[in-house]
A and B are shown apart, each in its own frame.
Chain A
Amino acid sequence: MGRNQWKANLDELCRSLEHYVSNLLEAPSSSATAERLSNSLYLANSASDSNFSAICASGHLSSATRIGRSAPPRCPEAILGTVGSVFFYVAPFRYPHTGCGLLFAHTLELQHENDGVATPFDSGGLVKKFDRTNPAVSPQEFLSHHELPIPDHRRYLRQSMDALFHKPEDYVEGLQPRWPGPIGLNGGDERRWTHEVRIPVRVPVRGSHLQAVFAPKARVAANPAVEDLFQWCATEGVDRISFDTPRGDDFEALRRECRDYIRRKLY
């Protein structure tokens, strides 16, 4: 499946949203906030401390296939055939049990418009986390019907921010939408409506698209590879966010710092 099919999926999804909205009592209006946020939201990738150290040392975000990690047959990426991809959320960091992360500018999508793809949900959640309203459709089929071109998928993001959420910022804050929307997923957490971007094979870290790097203070000070990346970022004018992690609760701290950063930069 290629870009033409993804474009057809996007048109169909936008039509479904328009139809869905026409049945709501309160017709949404398009807002400048949704326009701004959907166009500029960063691509987020977070990792455990050990994986992040390896990312800093290698200089790349790599797919499981690329780093030679065999995916167990039951894992969502193996079931969906996405093990060859690097994953991003178009949102703050939302992947739990991670403590460090990278934000990339939306321009990364322009560089991958021919080989990257998006979905208006976390694809991995299709396997066990979310309920499909039509369970007769397999996760693989469901995924292929909802693959969207990048960066064009942001058109649906903008429309859904206005139509489904109380206000566009709620998408970023991880607050439940007022309306579930036309996609047909229930359950799980905020990843159910978080746009995901997949880029094949690997993405260089030290490039012009890197927007900000996040790590606990102790990791920056104690891990040479992380320290080295932070030094590079200082030289290149890339934002660096280091933070304390009381009681080892790295993910909560990471998520909070990222949301604060996005509020400062994009609200």
Chain B
Amino acid sequence: MPTQWNVDDLEIVGYGNVLNHDMLPSVVPPVYRLSDDPKRALLPPYFFNASLLCNATEVSQSELEILRDSNEVTLFDDVFAAHAGFELWIDQDFQRHYQPRDEANRELSRIAAEAIENATEALHRGNLEEAQRLSGVAISADDTKLEPLAIKAAIRRLQGNSAGERLMAELAAPVLEERLFTLLVDNYCRGSACREPAEEPPSPAPHRPMLGVACLRPAA
């Protein structure tokens, strides 16, 4: 059995993941089958060596269907030819795209930039739900962007969820130190129509009108 296949001899039948709406857009690893022997499918994990697909797991059509039924892979209704250097990704409407890697990266970066802009506007309008959805789109499209994490942290701060805010700082930590991330979040919060949660109300101590007023010495 070969452990490597020429990508040009393969077709794409699906991808090795199952995604929910809030995970889109997303680059996905294709599930291939041999063009001249469609009953043999090739699953991730694998790697590419130039135009060769290496180390994939071969399964039968029936095994593939079992994996689909177990919610482990997604199969398309049709098949299409594979090409070396191409990327498969799924957009927010669950539509598939298969294009040269550079082109796919540009398109995903554009989606991320647009989603960040729209999330920022939604945040400024005080529409936290929409801002949250769009920041999710941005981070799904390009997980190297920090802005979606800062927007999400700002949303959590405005909701009074400090654990959620800290979690976003933790996700950003490998590339941005916490102090700078906090400044970024401050900036998003300042621009928001919502205000930060009100300060803690004073403790309900009994009201004493003369509290804090110096005692006057009685006149002699």
Contacts and interface: CB of A to CB of B under 8 A. Distances in A.
Interface string A237-267: 0001010110111111001000000000000
A235 B162 CA distance: 11
A216 interface: yes
Interface string A15-47: 000000000000000000000000000000000
A98 B17 CA distance: 7
A249 B143 contact: no
Contact of B143 (A189, A216, A234): A216
Interface in B25-68: 26-29, 43-45, 47, 57, 62-63, 65-67
A117 interface: no
Nearest to A247: B27
Contacts of A184: none
B187 interface: no
B20 A50 contact: yes
A189 B45 CA distance: 13
A96 B44 CA distance: 7
A99 B89 CA distance: 16
A244 B62 CA distance: 32
Interface of B: 16-20, 22-23, 26-29, 43-45, 47, 57, 62-63, 65-67, 69-73, 87-89, 135-137, 139-140, 143-144, 148-149, 152, 163-164, 166-168, 170-171
Given A216-B143, A222-B140, A234-B163, A48 B71 contact: yes
B39 to A, nearest CB: 14
A68 interface: no
Interface of A: 48-51, 53, 64, 69, 72, 74-75, 96-99, 128, 189, 216-224, 227, 230-231, 234-235, 240, 242, 244-245, 247-252, 255
Q: Which 7 pairs from chain A and chain B are nearest by CB? A: A222-B136, A248-B27, A50-B18, A97-B16, A218-B143, A221-B139, A75-B66
Contact of A48 (B17, B167, B168, B170): B17
A153 to B, nearest CB: 26
Contact of B163 (A98, A235, A255): A235
21 contacts: A49-B18, A50-B23, A51-B18, A53-B20, A64-B70, A69-B71, A72-B65, A96-B16, A97-B72, A217-B143, A221-B136, A222-B22, A222-B140, A223-B136, A224-B22, A247-B29, A247-B87, A248-B17, A248-B26, A248-B89, A252-B45
Contacts of A98: 72
A96 B45 contact: yes
Contact of A217 (B23, B28, B139, B166): B139
A220 B171 contact: yes
Contacts of A99: 17
B112 to A, nearest CB: 11
Most buried by B among A53, A99, A218: A218
A48 B14 CA distance: 14
A231 B164 contact: yes
A240 B69 CA distance: 30
Contacts of B20: 49-50, 53, 223
A251 B62 contact: no
Contact of B167 (A64, A222, A230, A252): A230
A50 B19 contact: yes
Given A64-B70, A223-B23, A224-B22, A249 B45 contact: yes
B44 A221 contact: no
Contact of A223 (B22, B149, B170): B22
B140 A218 contact: yes
B55 to A, nearest CB: 10
Nearest to A251: B45
Nearest to B28: A248
A96 B143 contact: no
B109 to A, nearest CB: 14
B71 A51 contact: yes
Given A128-B63, A234-B163, A248-B89, A221 B45 contact: no
Contacts of B17: 48-50, 97, 99, 248, 250
